[in-house]
Structure 1
Amino acid sequence: MGVPASLQQPQLVAHLIYRLDIGGLETLLVDTINRMPPGCYRHAVICLTDYTDFAQRITRPGVELFALHKPAGLGLGTHTDMFRLLRRLRPAVLHTYNLGTIEYAATAWAAGVPVRVHAEHGRDARDPQGVNPKHNLLRRLVTPFIDRYVPVSRDLRSWLERGVRIPAHKLQLIDNGVDTERFRAAGATNGEPWQDRESFVIGTVGRLQDVKDQFTLVEAFAQLCQLLPDERLRLVLVGDGPLRLQLEAQVAQNGLQDSVWFAGPRSDVAPVMRSFSLFALSSIAEGTPVTLLEAMASELPVVSTAVGGIPDLVEHGVAGTLVPAADPRAMAAAIAPYVRDRALARRHGAAGRARVEQQYSMQAMLAAYVALYDELCQTKTTRKKAITPCAE
């Protein structure tokens, strides 16, 4: 006699990520686990390399965390470790994220994991346009072991279908979501050192690395200071990374030490957002950036490069202004009207908040993932007769 469905433990989703540390994808993963309706699915997080104190943000009870400590290179032994772990955990779903984890879908198939989902949140920093033939060959070779690819922007979906040649029936777009209760309009803040009533604060949040191209943002800020010499302007870079020393040198060369803050990694991004007057993003490649969603939910006007899925998210001239990548002059010119006209900044900020509430809510994203897991588990698991879909 089988166990009644009401007494069965929820099925397990094992999330495989390269490293659990501060970042947009990592924040989204943690929010997904914490906010998914109770009783739907259990969760485990497997890190190919390791995790940091960021893992403490997982507040959902019972979430197991594993680090496989994969060495540089092929790390064939990690496949063996992964196989053994999956055989022990027996998840219903393995959910992999981005290129660094995609090959383990085959390992999961060999270990008997019924459902394999792979999410693409953005292309590799060393291949921002997604044209590396070896990488794309790998994506195609593992396609038979993946039940569904989940791109998080229309740009990524189009690239997977047309560029990588993933069959359309294996693609499912799920927009990223943001917590619109935590990220909201300006109110009380933490009294950050760059704040005062007269200043116009341009902020950005992201790892200090090539793909984010903060060099362009710093140069744009330098040009903006020349364009508007009578304005009290501030630039705040939240995050850390390998380019920090070079960016600090660029700031010093432009004599901007008193106007630019390197805030480092912050766990309190929501109140920090509320200390900004405008959010700027200078990336050369993106999917649907979580920090941009957070900024829009915080009612900040946005000036961003028109790359990846950003044009689908930010309506040019309505919620912000889009500019070409690697063009500091264009970025400075786009920011200037918001400094001159604070009412314009408020209108575009309000429009961005409305856009997020309409299409990019956390609730909509979670419902889409639950429905996807339900559909695939009902189709592929041997216990499908006992499964009660969470979406019901």
Structure 2
Amino acid sequence: MHSGYTFRTRAILRAQLAKGWDVRGLTGRRHVAAGPQEELVDGLHFHRTPGEAAGGNALLREWRDISAHADAIESLVRQWRPDIIHAHSPVLNAMAAQRVARRHGIPLIYEIRAFWEDAAVGNGTGTEGSPRYWLTRQLETHAVRAADAVAVICEGLRSDLVARGIDSAKITVSPNGVDLDQFGAPVPRDPALTAKLGLEGADVVGFIGSFYDYEGLDDLIAAMPRLVRARPRAKLLLVGGGPMEQALRDQALASPFTDHIVFVGRVPHDQVEHYYAQVDVLAYPRKAMRLTDLVTPLKPLEAMAQGRLVAASSVGGHRELIEDGVTGTLFAPDDPAAIAQALAGMFADRGFWDERRIVARDFVERERNWSSNILRYEPVYQRLLGRDSTAKAA
């Protein structure tokens, strides 16, 4: 299954294995891909929680999923005897892991990649300020207080926890990064794919990722008429899928410049780099909301690693990753005119492109490379164990 969460998890596990640590992954019932109960994937050892996600009342369903996940963690702990349990978002995982960690006296680190209540708002399945939002927020805060250590992916999440009264000394920032061994060697543009996509001679703007409402792809499509009038050869390449896909396709069909918008659909992960190679500027027009202000995305870093230019909305999560005019271009969120103006300006002046690509790539290698980012966990593990880091982690 492909998402920012799965790619981050894979990168963490690969980096830990490279250090000689013994690591297992355990998925919950919300992981719906078919397969055996125990499996090796990409050289990584995974276990599954048996059964499918429960039906019925939402609260009852989630409680049953927590119980099933806790039972699976318990089984693996008894079989394998890990030194540390490392759980990540959503909070349901932390709640299941805490039951087992407390019972066996195993240190627990809880890694927050987004607050579940805000993710629900961003995905359109929740409403900010609702009773469910409030309850989820309380569960998140309780899970943080109960964990032995907490990791977050950015300063926005850390600051929010500190504002809730969490001791900052308990929190480690382990930012999103790129596995440069797998994603750090850009491939040349494939002329056959260029022709197939109808991008020959085009100024190509692209988005490669999941089509959620908070990504702002409707604003990007709405920007295309202004962009094409300024840059007649401009085309938009959209690679991926998700909840907003049909609405975005309908919007593109209604656009006066529908022939300048190309939908590819989902592609195998091992083919993604070939689509990056087709794009001049990767655009990330995230909408302004709590989720995007607090959470840093992974995709802009992948684009920088691939030697692509990046343009993004100036929400908090992007500002933490991108220095305007240095590693990327920032524009006002929720504003198609601002998107078009920023992109047209980038295509009108190609003189800075090579230098910016080099600077952005250097930034990823220096500060957002998983081989070095993983070192941020090592002192946390050492502190929790009270000894060296030759540990087993689940």
**Structure that is richer in helix per residue:** 2
1:216 to 204, 215, 219: 219
SS at match of 1:172: strand
Work out which of the residue numbers 73, 76, 88 in structure 2 matches 1:86. 73
1:70 aligns with 2:61: no
Q: Which residue of 2 aligns with 1:48?
A: 29
Alpha-carbon separation, structure 2, partners of 1:215 and 1:278: 17
Amino acid at match of 2:227: L
**Any idea what SS the aligned residue of 2:197 has?**
coil
- Judged with a 3 Å threshold, the aligned counterparts in structure 2 of structure 1 residues 117 and 69 are, in CA distance, closer, same or farther, namely farther
Q: How does 1:205-354 map onto structure 2 within 5 Å? A: 205-228=208-231, 231-266=232-267, 267=269, 268-284=271-287, 285-286=291-292, 287-354=295-362
State the distance in 2 between where 1:195 and 1:111 align. 59
Matched with 1:175 is 175
Q: 2:367 touches 2:373 (CA, 8 Å); kept in 1?
A: no
Amino acid at match of 1:178: V
Equivalenced residue count is 361
Distance in 2, Cα, partners of 1:71 & 1:273: 38
Residue 25 (structure 2) pairs with residue 25 (structure 1): no
**Residue 273 of structure 1, CA deviation:** 1.3
1:97 to 88, 103, 121: 88
Q: How far 1:363 moved relative to its partner?
A: 0.7
Q: Write out per-residue CA displacement over residues 66-111 of structure 1, whole angstroms, 9 at most, x where no aligned residue.
A: 3552325223233332332222211333322223434324323344
The amino acid across from 1:126 in the alignment is A
Among 78, 101, 108, the residue aligned to 1:116: 108
1:150-170 CA-partner distances (Å, limit 9, x unpaired): 1111112112211x3322122
Alignment of 1:179-198 (within 5 A): 179-184=179-184, 186-190=186-190, 191-192=192-193, 193-194=196-197, 196-198=199-201
Q: Percent identity?
A: 21
Q: CA 1:255 to 1:329, structure 2 compared with 1: closer, same or farther past 3 Å?
A: same
What letter matches 1:226 in structure 2?
R
Contact 1:217 1:282 in 2 (8 A): yes
Greater CA deviation, 356-365 or 283-292? Answer: 283-292
Q: What is the TM-score normalised by the length of structure 2? A: 0.82
Report the secondary structure of 2:204's partner residue.
Answer: strand
Q: What is the aligned partner in structure 2 of residue 58 from structure 1?
A: 41
In the alignment, the residues of structure 2 paired with residue 273 and residue 213 of structure 1 have an alpha-carbon distance, to the nearest angstrom, of: 19
What secondary structure, in the 3-state scheme, does the structure 2 residue paired with 1:239 have? Answer: strand
Listed as ranges, the gaps of 5+ residues in structure 2 are none
- Distance (Å, rounded) in 1 between the aligned partners of 2:327 and 2:183: 16
**Structure 1's 223 and 309: CA in aligned 2 closer, same or farther, altered over 3 A?**
same
The alignment yields a C-alpha RMSD, in angstroms, of 2.8
Check whether the contact 2:145–2:166 (CA below 8 A) recurs between aligned residues.
Answer: no
Tell me if 1:152 matches 2:153: yes
Distance 1:103 1:222, change over 3 A: farther
Give SS of 2:210's match. coil
Say whether the 8 Å CA contact 1:209–1:243 is kept in structure 2.
Answer: yes
> SS in structure 1 opposite 2:176?
coil
* Alignment check: 8 A CA contact 1:42 1:63 kept: no
Q: Which runs of 5+ in 1 are unaligned?
A: 1-20
8 Å CA contact retained: 1:186, 1:275 = no
Query: How far does residue 38 in structure 1 lie from its aligned partner after superposition?
Result: 5.4
C-alpha deviations, 1:274-309, integer Å up to 9, x for none? Answer: 221011001234422111110011121211012233
Shift in Å, 1:246: 0.7
Could you say if the C-alpha distance between residues 205 and 144 of structure 1 is closer, same or farther in structure 2, counting changes exceeding 3 Å? same
2:49/2:72 contact within 8 Å kept: no
Alpha-carbon displacement from aligned partner over 1:190-238 (angstroms, at most 9, x marks no partner): 443336451111111221111212111111223211233xx31111112
Q: Which has the higher contact order (CA 8 A, sep 6+)?
A: 2
Q: What's the TM-score once normalised by structure 1's chain length?
A: 0.83
Q: Deviations over 1:298-339 (max 9, x none)?
A: 121211012233212111011211122211111111111111
* 1:362-387 deviations in Å (ceiling 9; x for gaps): 211222234433332x13xxxx69x7
Structure 1 residues 196 and 370: alpha-carbon distance in aligned structure 2, compared to 1, 3 A threshold: same
Q: Distance in 2 between matches of 1:305 and 1:318?
A: 15
Structure 1 stretch displaced more, 260-269 or 69-78? 69-78
Following TM superposition, by how much is the alpha carbon of 1:49 offset from its aligned partner in structure 2, in angstroms? 1.6
User: How many angstroms does 1:185 deviate by?
Assistant: 6.5
| Equivalent position SS for 1:204 | strand
Distance 1:143 1:180, change over 3 A: closer
**Which consecutive aligned stretches of 4+ in structure 1 deviate over 6 angstroms post-superposition?**
53-57
Farther-moved stretch of structure 1 (211-220 vs 74-83): 74-83
Match of 1:4?
none
Distance 1:130 1:371 in 2: 36
Q: Report the Cα offset of residue 119 of structure 1.
A: 1.7
Deviation at 1:181, TM superposition (A): 4.1
Aligned-partner residue type, residue 189 of structure 1: R
Give the partner amino acid of 1:118: Y
Partner of 2:368: 360
Give distance in 2, aligned partners of 1:63 and 1:185.
27
